[in-house]
Amino acid sequence: MTAPLPTIHPEAVREALRAKREIALVDVREEDPYAQAHPLFAVQLSAGRIELDAPWRLPRRDVPIAVYDDGEGLAEPAARRLQDLGYTDVRLLAGGLQGWRDGGGELFRDVNVPSKAFGELVEHQRHTPSLPAEEVKALIDGGADVVVLDARRFDEYRTMSIPGGTSVPGAELVLHVRDLAPDPATRVIVNCAGRTRSIIGTQSLVNAGIPNPVAALRNGTIGWTLAGFELDHGAQRRFGPASAASLAAARRAAQSLADRAGAIRLDAAGLAAWQADRRRTLYCWDVRTPEDYAAGHRPGFGSAPGGQLVQETDVYAAVRGARIVLADGGPDSDGVRAPMTAHWLAQLGWEVAWLTDAPPAALATGAWVPPGAELPTVPTLTPAALTAALSSGEVQLLDVGTSAAHVKGHVPGAQWVLRAQLAHVLPRLPRSGRIVVTGPEDLARLAAADAARLSGRPVAVLAGGTAAWAAEGRPLASGEAGCLSPRIDRYRRPYEGTDAPRAAMQAYLDWEFGLVAQLGRDGTHGFQVLAPA
């Protein structure tokens, strides 16, 4: 008989957070229900992706982990799966989400909430300058000396941007602003989709002491849209190389700010000591652009562009109280992006260091591939073999990729299902014939092993997944008619895409405005906003 899982009381979790002891509060629901209500420092780790995401998000196997759901029956199986992966201190949150609520714990909406709440606190305490969309539009239309810098990822900028704006993701702002606005009289406007990255980006430039007048575009592209103005789509403007003078000025400012915020300067020996300390969780991130990272990076460091790392600390550092070490060192080590990012993470309450040594001679190359658990061995079918099998009519084809990818294009006849819901879905399907699973092959292999165990039927995986099928020029179907699970795997951000309802955008802004008060009621955040020099 399996022993019951131990539990941890919500107040014990809050006490660990207040004391800055390491703990991971893991919500194993899908992203949409998670986004509706969760504790401030809860991290979302879908029950169906634990083997793929836990190894890199929870790198220390004996870290304390508290697992919960909201009564869906996901928490206990997920906790057992974590134990199977070698995690030794896994507990269930007593009472689940309702237990947190009943114990007086504050609940938050949306995703990446610690960073968004911190951004609101920064604006509240530092009075970060901002201009409404109407004033920014008048400056642009009037030919004023102004540059608009978009602090989001390049793919987000490309989807929709302020007309004339240039893509300069957050960690790049201090490094490149002097070249993009060399005249101190030029007004610099920083924007994102909503508020957080424009606030943090603008305050980065203020903290770094650039001589230009600088302001955030108040409420970002949401504010621009609500004002009735049109956005650009498909823009390609990006920053260029930093000049020697700009690099020197940015380096002085960034490193001084990191020191003032309490970030740690770490050399190679210090890094080795941190890596050898098995009592602490350590995250090692290279904060440059993905392109810089792929060209050459320190072995053992993952890719987390600095602006996104500050925006998504709950993703890149799932263990609250862990250590984080940052590098901006590849062939173009600059000593700006790592300390600048570190100065924000220190204010967010992290023990964070940035590397001062030159990178090693032997660099790794290529895009970052998150490490996952060993995958099960399952039979595979080539696209040609699947075509033949489908023609026989004795194949049940299941797609376990994202619902958005399924709706956009899937193998004809495939039905979409969440891996975590296979136990509920399989009994409703025809009980004869082979099951074939498609989607990303790693997730498909995990789901296929589950399906074989649950159904007792022969199960195979489409080799290379749906991508391999499409690469051979085979037809794809679209639409959500074949969805067997509710599409809860993705929370639709009110600020993303080009068709967000105006009411949803306004409601999102109203929610952000209330985050400072929520932080006060929650009492676990530990944020310390850097005062002016």
Identical fold for domains 8-111 and 252-355, yes or no, is yes
User: What is this structure's pTM?
Assistant: 0.95
CB 368 within 8 A of CB 283: no
Residue 463 DSSP code:
T
Task: Render pLDDT for 247-298 as a digit per residue (tens, 0 to 9).
Answer: 999 999 999 999 999 999 999 999 999 999 999 999 999 999 999 999 999 9
Domains in the chain: boundaries: 8-111, 123-244, 252-355, 380-471
Q: In what order do the strands lie in the sheet with 459-462?
A: 380-381, 459-462, 434-438, 395-399, 415-416
CA 202, CA 213: separation in Å to the nearest integer?
10
Alpha carbon 266 to chain centroid distance? 26
The strands making up 146-150's β-sheet, listed across from edge to edge, are: 130-131, 214-217, 187-191, 146-150, 166-167
Q: What is the CATH number of domain 8-111?
A: 3.40.250.10
CATH code that applies to domain 380-471: 3.40.250.10
Q: What is the DSSP letter of 483?
A: B
At 343, is the secondary structure helix, strand, or coil? helix
Q: Say which CATH architecture domain 252-355 belongs to.
A: 3-Layer(aba) Sandwich (3.40)
Are the CB atoms for 22 and 351 separated by under 8 Å? Answer: no
Per-residue pLDDT tens, the chain, 533 aa: give them.
688 999 999 999 999 999 999 999 999 999 999 999 999 999 999 999 999 999 999 999 999 999 999 999 999 999 999 999 999 999 999 999 999 999 999 999 999 999 999 999 999 999 999 999 999 999 999 999 999 999 999 999 999 999 999 999 999 999 999 999 999 999 999 999 999 999 999 999 999 999 999 999 999 999 999 999 999 999 999 999 999 999 999 999 999 999 999 999 999 999 999 999 999 999 999 999 999 999 999 999 999 999 999 999 999 999 999 999 999 975 557 899 999 999 999 999 999 999 998 888 899 999 999 999 999 999 999 999 999 999 888 899 999 999 999 999 999 999 999 999 999 999 999 888 899 999 999 999 999 999 999 999 999 999 999 999 999 999 999 999 889 999 999 998 876 655 667 788 887 888 888 999 999 999 999 999 999 98
Residue in the structure block whose two tokens are 């941890």: 8
For the chain, how many helices (H) and strands (E)?
A: 24, 20
User: Which of left, alpha, beta for 262 (phi over 0: left; psi -120 to 50: alpha)?
Assistant: left
Which amino acid does the sequence have at 213? P
Q: What is the 3-state secondary structure (H, E, C) of 6-44?
A: CEECHHHHHHHHHHCCCEEEEECCCHHHHHHCECCCEEE
Averaged confidence pLDDT in the chain: 95
Q: What is the CATH number of domain 123-244?
A: 3.40.250.10
Nearest-angstrom CA–CA distance, 323 and 318 = 11
Strands, E assignment, 45-89 = 65-68
**Structure tokens that stand for 226 in this block:** 């609500």
- Look up residue 506 and give its two tokens: 């306004």
Q: In the prediction, which pLDDT does 333 show?
A: 72
d(CA 401, CA 413): 15
CB 97 within 8 A of CB 69: yes
Q: Classify 47 as helix, strand or coil.
A: helix
- What are the backbone angles phi and psi of residue 450, rounded to the nearest 5°? -60, -45
Round to whole Å and give the CA distance between 278 and 63: 10
> How far is Cα 495 from Cα 21, in angstroms, rounded to an integer?
34
E-strand stretches of 39-126: 42-44, 65-68, 90-93
The position carrying tokens 């406007």 is 189
What's the pLDDT tens digit per position in 362-375? 999 999 999 999 99
Burial environment of residue 2 by CB neighbours within 10 A (0 to 12, 13 to 18, 19 or more) = exposed
Question: pLDDT for 162-209, tens place per residue?
Answer: 999 999 999 999 999 999 999 999 999 999 999 999 999 999 999 999
Give the whole-angstrom CA distance, residue 353 versus residue 412. Answer: 50
